[in-house]
Amino acid sequence: MKDNGHEDNHDFEELRRLLMGSELQQIEQLRERLESPESFSSEVGEILPQAMLKSSQHGAELSEAMVPTVEEIVRLSIKKDINKFADALFPVIGPAIRKAIKETIRQMLQSLNRTLEQSLSWQGFKWRLESFRTGIPFAQIALLHGLVYQVEQVFLIHRETGLLLTHLGRDDVNNQNPDLVSSMLSAINDFVGDSFEVEANRTLDSIEVGEISIWIEPGPDAILAVAIRGEAPNSLRTTMQQTLEQVQTELGEVLAGFMGDTLPFEDRQDLLDECMQAQYQSGSKGISARIILTILLLLLLPIYWVASELQRSWQQQEYVDRLGALPGYVITGAMERDGVLVVHGLRDPLSSLPDSIGEQSLLTGEVEHRFEPYQSLLPEFVEQRARKILAPPEGVVLKFERGHLVIEGVADLSWRERLNATLPQIAGIESVDDSTLKTRFTTAMLKPPSGVSITLEDGLVYVEGAADQDWINSLAMVRQQYSEISAIDTRALVNLTEVALVSKIAELEKQVVFFDVATSFDFDSIDAPKLSALAKNIIDLANKLSRNVLIGVRGYSDSVGSFEDNVFLSVERADYVVQALFNAGIDPRYIAIKGLESPVKAETSETEKRFNRRVGFEVIVE
Amino acid sequence: MSKFKVCMLGAFAVGKTSLVQRYVHSIFSEKYQTTLGVKIDQKSLHLGDKTLEMILWDLAGEDEFINVRDSYLRGSSGGVLVADGTRAETLDIAFQLRDRLFAEVGQVPLILVINKSDLRDQWTIDTAQFEQLREDGWQVLETSARDDSNVEAAFRALATRLLAMNSS
């Protein structure tokens, strides 16, 4: 059976070979290709891209299926060497971060823009024009104008060796040996890294000394360092990153295999051009800021001058107005002369000085006052003036109301006399009421004549000496006037009027007018003026003394002839003298005529007869 | 043009700075060595039709107080090991520094300079071992910075090796 079976298989194989022929050989080849990993992977590799492309066109199933695998690959790659992954992502991460930062800054600038839009200034207007012209947001323009900086040198340094790959420097700047500088920068970077346990792959960001800053931007294989004078904007850092990315992209392979040959880099200085930035506050375009400033100054100067003049004029007017509003001032004019404000007008000397006005006023210049004195009729000035002129003593009160001055109290006679003398000189006083003003008594008020002394003691006035009746009469009036006088003692006072009356009477009574015989009258023998003067004195003195007086004119005759004739003759002779007195103006009321009673003297001779032919005088005072 | 970072390595006071000062172009003061631990100089050389720049990192001398910073060794293309013939122990320090350099950057061209040949009568170093070193592939030069003896030759020898390495 076993042999039969073997023969059956052989037959079957023979039959299959006859039926399938070349296909069988192809099947065998396919099996070998599938079973060989090398050939199978090679063939799959050939069709895999196309297959993945086809699959992605039909849907995301393949991508979704690969997600876990790719994630695991990334995870393992990072775990194995993070630097490789970081290097691979370097060209991608930079732009992505910049895009995010750019968006953030854009929003910030928009906010700043809104804020700045509210501010109005010439500079702002200029920047707005620039913003409109360039399309750059206004805030960014403002930011750029606020910064002044200049990149002086750019170093592209091989990161591993510190060797300088290429360098750009400004011609106007003294560039030290860039090879040594770049190596020293690397040394400083290493020094800092070693000294302060800096995280691996980190480098210095910047070095700042005075106005110079060195910004350092590291890449996977190269370091870009720029030396800056001034304050550079952060956009320069972005430019450095872009430059470094460009270097890495274009020269990455050369950098990776760098063995000291710097020739490939020396030809690519153009890569660093972008970093050679400079920003000046005043650009070369258009009119320079200095010229604008000069023009502005030239424009501002006359404006300032006009404004200053207006302000000064306003200040002067304000000062004059203030001065004119002061009581006691009348401004008649004001003008400026040689920078000095000269004010003309009238000023009551009782008014306050204008210094206080100067302190309150905004006027800064010099002021000259030319005031003529005058008397203000304002009530406060009238009252003040009255008080100043009258200088009321203690006990006297002045009240002034609407032109009416009331004076009350007690004052000395001297002040009162001065009051009466000065009141008319005080302008503005329309009426005066001093009815209640009392005069304080003094002995001087009695005005004693020489030879009279007066003493006052407890209201009693003692008068000594000699005085006439008129003055004595005034004493009584004074006593009535001053209540503080209780009495006047004149017992020691001699009345000179009475003395004079007695003297005159005696003199008149000594006078005699003699006549010739019979009716012969010789008017020439009468001294009429003397007699009448004496008579008049006597009458006046008696009147002063309030006494009644009668001047008797007695006529006499000698004994020759009858008694009746002689009486008649004596009367006729007396009448004759009286007529002479009448003619001299003596009032007849004071004259009385008396005739002969008997001869004056016994007649023994012609002489006695002649003695008796006379007229004599007799005065009666009661 | 090729540029190479070259470290001057050696013990304290073996004469590294004096050797460098002979020909180099320098803009930095020696005070950097005491502050940063390194002073950088530049030496340009022409070898045939080729020009190369050696950026010489003159590292502060290794002694019991100062250690050469490994970070300064990074990126070196070659080095000059300097020993003082009057102080035998400085050769050992040079070899220690060689080992640290190799550990940092791998096998790079080096030359060994035994300095102060002007004081040869005071040398304590065993010159017999130089032959052994040469047989081991070392290029050993006896120099004197004071007499300017072999200084140029030492740098040229290193430059030759650097170019050879670069072209290989």
- Give yes or no: residues A169 and A274 share one domain: yes
| Residue A329, domain extent | 306-373
User: By C-alpha distance, which of A565, A562, A551, A553 is closest to A614?
Assistant: A553
Render the burial of A78-108: b for 16+ CB within 10 Å, e for the rest: eeeeeeeeebeebbeebeeebeeeeeebeee
**Which tokens is A596 given?**
């002969």
User: By C-alpha distance, which of A191, A257, A174, A271 is closest to A221?
Assistant: A257
- Give yes or no: residues A564 and A487 share one domain: no
- Give yes or no: residues A420 and A543 share one domain: no
- Give yes or no: residues A517 and A476 share one domain: no
Assess whether pLDDT exceeds 90 at residue A17.
no
- Give yes or no: residues A272 and A317 share one domain: no
> Which stretches of chain B score pLDDT less than 50?
none
Q: Does the beta carbon of A207 lie under 8 angstroms from any beta carbon of chain B?
A: no
Domain closes at, from A279, A296, A331 = A279
- Give yes or no: residues A388 and A341 share one domain: no
Q: Give how far A114 is from chain B: nearest CA, Å.
A: 50
User: By C-alpha distance, which of B162, B52, B61 is closest to A262?
Assistant: B52
Q: Which of B2, B25, B40 sits opposite A183 (nearest CB)?
A: B40
Q: Give how far A165 is from chain B: nearest CA, Å.
A: 9
Q: What is the pLDDT of residue A548?
A: 92
Assess whether pLDDT exceeds 90 at residue A562.
no
Q: Which of A163, A194, A259 sits opposite B55 (nearest CB)?
A: A163
* Type of residue numbered A78: I
SS3 content of chain B, % helix, strand, coil (to 5): 40, 30, 30
Which residue on chain B is closest to A265 by alpha carbon?
B1
User: By C-alpha distance, which of B74, B91, B80, B35 is closest to B56?
Assistant: B80
Assess whether pLDDT exceeds 80 at residue A119.
no
Cβ-based contacts of B73 with chain A (< 8 Å): none
Q: For position A159, which CATH number holds?
A: 3.30.450.70
Mean pLDDT confidence for A255-270:
85
Lowest-confidence pick of A56-65, A210-219, A531-540, A569-578: A56-65
Q: What is the pLDDT of residue A506?
A: 94
Domains of chain B: 2-167 (3.40.50.300)
Helix (H, G, I), strand (E, B), or coil: what is residue A401?
Answer: strand
- Give yes or no: residues A181 and A147 share one domain: yes
The verdict on a CB contact (< 8 Å) between B26 and A261 is: no
Assess whether pLDDT exceeds 50 at residue A283.
no
Contact by Cβ (8 Å): B83, B125: yes
Q: Phi, psi (5° rounding) for residue A612?
A: -85, -15
Tens digit of each residue's pLDDT (9 = 90 or more) over A64-89: 788 888 888 888 888 787 777 777 77
Strand positions, DSSP E, B11-77: 38-47, 50-59
Mean pLDDT value across chain A: 82
Q: Does the beta carbon of B50 lie under 8 angstroms from any beta carbon of chain A?
A: no
**Which tokens is A553 given?**
């004119």
Q: Which of B2, B55, B74 sits opposite A179 (nearest CB)?
A: B55
* Banded model confidence at residue A284, pLDDT cuts 50, 70, 90: very low
The verdict on a CB contact (< 8 Å) between B69 and A191 is: yes
Q: Does the beta carbon of A193 lie under 8 angstroms from any beta carbon of chain B?
A: yes
Residue with tokens 């023009």: A295
CA–CA dist A530, A111 (Å, integer): 133
The verdict on a CB contact (< 8 Å) between B1 and A266 is: yes
- Give yes or no: residues A136 and A201 share one domain: yes
Domain closes at, from A244, A279, A314 = A279
Q: List the alpha helices (DSSP H) in chain B.
A: 16-23, 31-35, 70-73, 89-105, 128-135, 151-167
Using CB atoms and an 8 Å cut-off, which of residues 149-178 of chain A contact chain B? Answer: 158, 160-164, 176-177
Q: For position A311, which CATH number holds?
A: 3.30.70
Tens digit of each residue's pLDDT (9 = 90 or more) over A380-429: 888 888 888 888 888 888 888 888 889 998 888 788 888 888 888 888 88
User: By C-alpha distance, which of A286, A260, A385, A377 is closest to A330?
Assistant: A377
Mean pLDDT confidence for A577-588:
89
Domain-located, residue A297: no
CA distances from B4 to A185, A254, B32, B140, B163 (A): 16, 16, 21, 20, 9
CA–CA dist A396, A409 (Å, integer): 4
User: By C-alpha distance, which of B166, B79, B101 is closest to A257?
Assistant: B166
* Type of residue numbered B142: E
Tens digit of each residue's pLDDT (9 = 90 or more) over A443-477: 877 888 888 999 888 888 899 999 988 888 888 88
Q: Which of A174, A183, A223 is the mutation pick for testing B, counting most B CBs within 10 A? A: A183
The total of other beta-carbon atoms located within 10 Å of residue A588's CB is 9
Q: In what order do the strands lie in the sheet with B78-84?
A: B38-47, B50-59, B2-10, B78-84, B110-115, B140-142
Give the CA angle between residues B79, B85, B90 to the nearest 5°. Answer: 60
Long-range contacts, stretch B98-103, CB < 8 angstroms, 24+ apart: B98/B9, B100/B68, B100/B70, B100/B73, B101/B7, B101/B9, B101/B73, B101/B76
Which residue on chain B is closest to A158 by alpha carbon?
B75
Domain-located, residue A192: yes
Q: List the alpha helices (DSSP H) in A283-402.
A: 289-325, 355-360, 379-390
Contact by Cβ (8 Å): A560, A517: yes
Q: Which of A259, A265, A266 is the mutation pick for testing B, counting most B CBs within 10 A? A: A259
Domain-located, residue A595: yes
Tens digit of each residue's pLDDT (9 = 90 or more) over A339-389: 888 999 999 888 888 776 666 666 777 888 889 988 888 888 888 888 888
The verdict on a CB contact (< 8 Å) between A194 and B53 is: no
The verdict on a CB contact (< 8 Å) between A176 and B27 is: yes
Characterize the bridge pairing of strands A149-158 and A164-169: antiparallel
**Which tokens is B39 given?**
């002073």
Q: What is the pLDDT of residue A106?
A: 60
Domain-located, residue A210: yes
Q: Phi, psi (5° rounding) for residue B53?
A: -110, 125
CA–CA dist A413, A440 (Å, integer): 6
Q: What is the pLDDT of residue B82?
A: 94
CB-facing half-sphere around the CA of B17: CA atoms within 13 A: 18
The verdict on a CB contact (< 8 Å) between B27 and A177 is: yes
Q: Give how far A193 is from chain B: nearest CA, Å.
A: 9
Q: Phi, psi (5° rounding) for residue A201?
A: 70, 5
Q: List the alpha helices (DSSP H) in A81-212.
A: 82-117, 122-134, 138-145, 178-195
Mean pLDDT value across chain B: 87
Mean pLDDT confidence for A278-286:
57
- Give yes or no: residues A120 and A263 share one domain: yes
Assess whether pLDDT exceeds 90 at residue A225.
yes
Cβ-based contacts of A162 with chain B (< 8 Å): 5, 55, 75
pTM for the structure as a whole: 0.42
Tens digit of each residue's pLDDT (9 = 90 or more) over B21-47: 876 766 666 666 666 788 888 888 888
Which residue on chain B is closest to A175 by alpha carbon?
B27
- Give yes or no: residues A462 and A608 share one domain: no
Q: What is the pLDDT of residue A519?
A: 60
- Give yes or no: residues A418 and A452 share one domain: no
Domain-located, residue A83: no
* Banded model confidence at residue A118, pLDDT cuts 50, 70, 90: very low
Helix (H, G, I), strand (E, B), or coil: what is residue A39?
Answer: helix
Max Cα distance, chain B (Å)? 44
Assess whether pLDDT exceeds 70 at residue A112.
no
Domain-located, residue A503: no
Contact by Cβ (8 Å): A541, A500: yes
Q: Which of B1, B3, B72 sits opposite A190 (nearest CB)?
A: B72
CA–CA dist A568, A478 (Å, integer): 54
Lowest-confidence pick of A158-162, A239-243, A590-594, A601-605: A601-605
Domain-located, residue A228: yes
Domain count, chain A: 6
Q: List the alpha helices (DSSP H) in A326-371.
A: 355-360
The verdict on a CB contact (< 8 Å) between B77 and A161 is: yes
Domain-located, residue A286: no
* Banded model confidence at residue A115, pLDDT cuts 50, 70, 90: low
Strand positions, DSSP E, A231-374: 278-279, 329-337, 340-347, 366-373
Lowest-confidence pick of A27-41, A90-104, A313-327, A547-561: A90-104
- Give yes or no: residues A390 and A361 share one domain: no
Cβ-based contacts of A161 with chain B (< 8 Å): 3, 5, 74-77
CA–CA dist A77, A71 (Å, integer): 10
Q: Which of B25, B52, B55 sits opposite A183 (nearest CB)?
A: B55
